[in-house]
């Protein structure tokens, strides 16, 4: 089963692109939350 997914993944650029976009969106969201937290810290410390 794992081999099948691996094979499909490597022979399908669309899946790679989709997963890449999904991953970058997740990273962006995490980054935004982190920025927001930092901003709040700065704001409340001042």
List the domain range (segments joined by +) for residue 15: 1-45
Of 1 and 28, the one with more pLDDT: 28
Residue 19, burial from CB neighbour count under 10 angstroms (0-12, 13-18, 19+): exposed
pTM above 0.95, yes or no: no
What single DSSP character describes residue 11? T
C-alpha–C-alpha distance, residues 14 and 44, integer Å? 45
What is the count of structural domains for the chain? 1
User: What are the tens digits of pLDDT across the range 2-42?
Assistant: 787 777 767 788 878 888 899 999 999 998 999 888 888 88
């Amino acid at each position: 089963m794992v081999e099948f997914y691996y094979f499909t993944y490597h022979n399908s650029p669309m899946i790679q692109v989709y997963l890449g976009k999904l991953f970058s969106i997740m990273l962006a969201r995490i980054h935004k939350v982190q920025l927001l937290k930092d901003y709040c810290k700065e704001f409340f410390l001042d």
